[in-house]
A and B are shown apart, each in its own frame.
Chain A
Amino acid sequence: MTRRETSRETPRQIHLGAHFPGVNNTTVWRDPRSGSQVDFSSFEHLARTAERGLMDFFFLAEGLRLREQRGKIHDLDVVGRPDTLTVLNSIASVTTHLGLAGTINATFNEAAELAKQFASLDHLSGGRAAWNVVTSSDAFTGENFRRGGYLAHADRYVRAREVLDVAREFWDSWAEDSLVADPETGVFARGISEVDHRGPQFQVRGTGSLPRSPQGHPVLLQAGDSDDGREFGATYADAIFTMHGSLEAGQRFTADMRSRAVRNGRSGDDLKILPGVTFVLGDTPGQAREHAREIRFQQVGPAQAIAFLEQVWGRDLSDHDPEGPLPAQDPETTSTIAQGRTRMTKDPVETARTWRDLAAAHGWSSRELVVEVTGRQQFVGTPAQVAEEMDTYVQADACDGFILVPSLTPAGLDEFVEKVVPLLQERGSYRTGYTGSTLREHLGVPHPHRLAPAVRATA
């Protein structure tokens, strides 16, 4: 008996996003099937595949400075990516339903400009825009910008809140019916409010330059895991991109985020929790595991293993043998050896101790240890296993769905769409056709109402 026959209710629906495999240590470039990470044809292929698979959205990450290690540009993983919004606008014209989610930093961009850019994407895509708001802030990235580099790490969510507040005011500054466009009466647009924001970070006055877009506000995603980050997400976001990918960790995280949303006066269900997950498929469980192991060793070459250890050890390990045991000396705790990426660990000395014990217990070399501790392949198995496991997660409220992180550009999603999607549909947990045209409709998150206006002049 299938679970559908036992349950009279429709199962909770799974939401899927498609992460473009670009700059990322999970992207395999050594495989002969690996294509360009910048050519438009790659983006188009993945987007069309995701749309064929009826996914909620296509997703792009962002980094505003090339990563460095030992003061040199990191050259071992995929390097280089195009501009997020420009790619999404081009994808908009070759797709019809797929949501278009872009990661854009709130620290190194201006609110008025972002408001206009995301409203433009929402207009031109007919209501498919999403903004993944990140706050990564450091002087290293700031060196590419006239402003932003000065921002202290502790203030980055203060700024992000203000950027969002101002952007939302701009999105609300044209009422639903402001664009009249009636040639008879001669009224083009009326009732446009003036934004007048005075906050600790900036003072902004102006009028939004666009009619309210199809979604009102683009869908907001958030990725960030600190207490500040979670509060920010629970207040502003429609969906959370998270790394809490195991069942138990997912349930804890989801419960935490839903209760934070409720504390902020929202319904917990209005917040969609979407962990980023990798997946490896095989015709048999053994074949999938074998394939997964191959991918891991392609992701972690000998030089990458050393580079990874250097991020924890905080010192030059270029003479270390990756096929031998872990370095004997203790990590340096105050180190900036790796720039432009999130810190690996809060307590490197403790991490090193744990890893030495692990490696000793299993007889792992340095490289094998790195393969094991950096592994993020949550779903490995036959299509039926993967479909069942994903469904279990969602039914158990460990999440609302997944952002799929394929390991290959651009064909890494093909097999999933061909083999797993039909099985999710059979389970009744996944749509068999798009029922709405906007991303808000795909995700089932409510249309934002106009913000309660402050006292404003109207033009």
Chain B
Amino acid sequence: MSREPLRLGVELDAAGRHPAAWRLPGARPAELFTAAHWRRLGALVERADLDLLVVPDSFRLGSSDERDQRGRLDAVAIAAHLAPLTRRVGLVPVVTTTHTEPFHTNKAVATLDFTSLGRAGWQVEVSTTAEEADTFGRTGTAPPGELWREAADTVEVVRRLWDSWEDDAVVRDVASGRFVDRDKLHYVDFEGERFSVRGPSITPRSPQGQPLVVVPVRDEHSLAVAAAHADVARIEAGDERTAAQTADRLRTLAGRELTVLLDVEVLLRQTATEALDVAGRLDELNPGAAPRSVRHLGTPATLAAALAELPDGLDGAVLAPLDLPATLELVVSGVVPALTRPPVAGSTLRERFGLPRPTSRYARIGGVR
């Protein structure tokens, strides 16, 4: 294995990524929209000391088929609910950039960083469908290139807003009567193609300074955004070799180090035959659920072996269980113990990924003001 330590995250989507997963025994489908469901999943993830808990989101209802799992809770809400209940895992909600105001994204993720004591991340996504545009009363959708350019602008302005309060802006100076030092608050004055933001943020600088930015890589547009802005990239690919090539291109384009994780859709059972059976049954119930990335149907041991063999350039994986909680339970009890992952030092998500806490870009060096 080329990397130390192997990074491991999970993406948790209600009953699992497969739209028919809610029908499996143990899924408790009536509870998918309750806190109890998410607390159970959060506790499992915490037990395995995983690096990331990603919560997907979109404004689509999704399927129009009454047999499919559909509807979803707001991802930031789920992450915020889990923040006081967990101590270790990074909480990474998806917040889309096409219809949500960048200013709101800035303060929501910064606040998650406060309530999780420095474990917040943000996964960037775009909304590509006319369905979502209609929901917001916008006419039509822009082409993906434009949406991702807007996403890049959003990351840029959000990062500026996270820096818009220097760390020591709150002075509480009784003698002068000043609560803040206004010289340490900064207008971000961003002017983009599709929006402008004046700043500063209403939220002071959060524990990590800059929460972890995660970008999915699934085409040239998202690859460019990941190269320019991501702390962590998630690569969607049909096989490991292609993913490793994409990781290479990504690093070259970025000209800097960044963590690259492979997306792996997983369904685990005690035997490989059983896993294949269950997956087959799910595909029968909904034949339209094509894999979006590498898929691993097997046992905890086969998945652990596959993860240990990831090609160079891939630092680990984000596992997307096709079904919950069964597969997650096996990840916790069987996969993680089989991998030798050293204990993580530090309590923030950036520390977990070996990233320093950056100073605000607006802070002048050496106190010259």
| In the complex, A336 has a CB within 8 A of chain B | no
**Residues in A neighbouring B165, C-beta threshold 8 A:** 80
If A81-B203, A189-B66 touch, does A143 touch B198 (CB 8 Å cutoff)?
Answer: yes
A11 CA to B323 CA, complexed, in Å: 54
Evaluate contact between A40 and B74: CB separation under 8 angstroms.
Answer: no
Most buried by A among B137, B198, B200: B137
- In this complex, the interface size class of chain A, counting residues with CB under 8 Å from chain B, is 35 or more
Residues of A within 8 A of B134 (CB): 204-206
A125-136 Cβ-contact flags toward B at 8 Å (1 or 0):
110000000000
Most chain A beta carbons < 10 A, residue from B29, B38, B69, B100? B29
Rounded to whole Å, the gap between the CB of B325 and the closest CB of chain A is 15
- Interface mask (B154-194 → A, CB under 8 Å = 1, otherwise 0): 00000000000100011010101111111001000000001
- Chain B residues with CB under 8 Å of A126's CB are 34-35
Do A29 and B194 touch (CB < 8 A)?
no
Asked if B136 and A110 make an inter-chain contact with CB atoms under 8 angstroms apart, the answer reads yes
Nearest residue in A to B36 (C-beta to C-beta)? Answer: A126
Q: Find the B residue at minimum CB distance from A64.
A: B202
Tell whether, in the assembled complex, residue B182 and residue A75 are in contact, meaning their CB atoms are under 8 Å apart: yes
Within 8 A of B (CB), among A285-320: 301-304
Q: Mark B100-131, 1 if CB is under 8 A from A, else 0.
A: 11111001101110110100000000000001
Are B71 and A186 in contact, with the CB atoms below 8 A?
Answer: no
A-contacting residues, B302-355, CB 8 Å: none
Q: Using Cβ atoms and an 8 Å threshold, which residues of chain B touch A211?
A: 33, 71
Q: Complex Cα distance A79/B101, Å?
A: 22
Among B71, B77, B82, point to the contact of A117 (Cβ < 8 A).
B77
- The chain B residue with its CB closest to the CB of A116 is B74
Are B137 and A202 in contact, with the CB atoms below 8 A? yes
Residue contact A188 to B35, C-beta cutoff 8 Å: no
Task: Assess A209 versus B61: contact at CB under 8 Å? Given A29-B172, A80-B180, A90-B81.
Answer: yes
Contact A40–B110 (Cβ < 8 Å): no
Considering the complex, which residues of chain B in the window 59-93 have a beta carbon less than 8 Å from any beta carbon of chain A?
Answer: 59-61, 64, 66-74, 76-78, 80-85
User: Are the CB atoms of B33 and A210 closer together than 8 Å?
Assistant: yes
- Cβ of A174: which chain B residues have Cβ within 8 Å of it? 71
Residues A83 and B110 in contact, CB atoms below 8 Å apart: yes
CA distance A92 to B204 in the complex (A): 22
On whether the beta carbons of A188 and B107 are closer than 8 Å, the reply is: no
Cα(A38)–Cα(B107), bound, Å? 12
Q: Is A121 an interface residue (CB 8 A)?
A: yes
Please state if B33 and A80 are interface contacts (CB–CB under 8 Å): no
Bound Cα distance from A108 to B198, whole angstroms = 14
Which residues does chain A contribute within 8 Å of B101, judged by CB atoms? 108-109, 144-147
Q: Cβ of A204 and Cβ of B115 under 8 Å apart?
A: no
- In the docked arrangement, what's the CA distance between A124 and B107, Å? 20
Chain A residue numbers with a CB within 8 Å of B185 are 66, 73, 79
A179 to B37, CA, bound (A): 16
Cβ A190 vs Cβ B179 within 8 A: no
Residues of A within 8 A of B23 (CB): 183, 186
| B residues in contact with A186, CB < 8 Å | 23, 67, 285
Q: Does A414 contact B (CB under 8 A)?
A: no
Q: With an 8 A cutoff between CB atoms, is A77 at the interface?
A: yes
**A207 sits at the interface (CB 8 A):** yes
CB B308 to nearest CB in A, in angstroms, measures 35
A112 to B100: give the CA distance in the assembly, Å: 11
* CB proximity of B142 to chain A, nearest CB, Å: 14
Q: B245 on the interface (CB 8 Å rule)?
A: no
CA distance A39 to B305 in the complex (A): 42
- Shortest B158–chain A CB gap in Å is 12
- B241 interface residue, CB < 8 Å from A? no
Indicate if the CB atoms of B202 and A123 lie closer than 8 Å. no
**Bound form: Cα–Cα A89–B76 in Å:** 9
Knowing A38-B114, A40-B115, A92-B35 touch, does A192 contact B81 (C-beta < 8 A)? no
Known: A40-B84, A187-B67. 6 other contacts (CB 8 A): A73-B182, A89-B76, A109-B101, A116-B59, A120-B74, A179-B33
Chain A to chain B: the 9 pairs with minimum beta-carbon distance, closest first:
A206-B135, A89-B80, A146-B195, A181-B29, A202-B137, A90-B115, A120-B74, A82-B111, A143-B198
A binding-site residues for B, Cβ under 8 Å? 29-30, 38-40, 43-44, 63-66, 72-73, 75-83, 85-87, 89-90, 92-94, 108-110, 112-113, 116-117, 120-121, 123-126, 143-147, 174, 179-181, 183, 186-190, 192, 202-211, 301-304, 459
Using CB atoms and an 8 Å cutoff, list the residues of chain B in contact with chain A.
22-25, 27, 29-30, 32-35, 38-39, 59-61, 64, 66-74, 76-78, 80-85, 99-104, 107-108, 110-112, 114-115, 117, 131-132, 134-137, 165, 169-170, 172, 174, 176-182, 185, 194-200, 202-204, 285
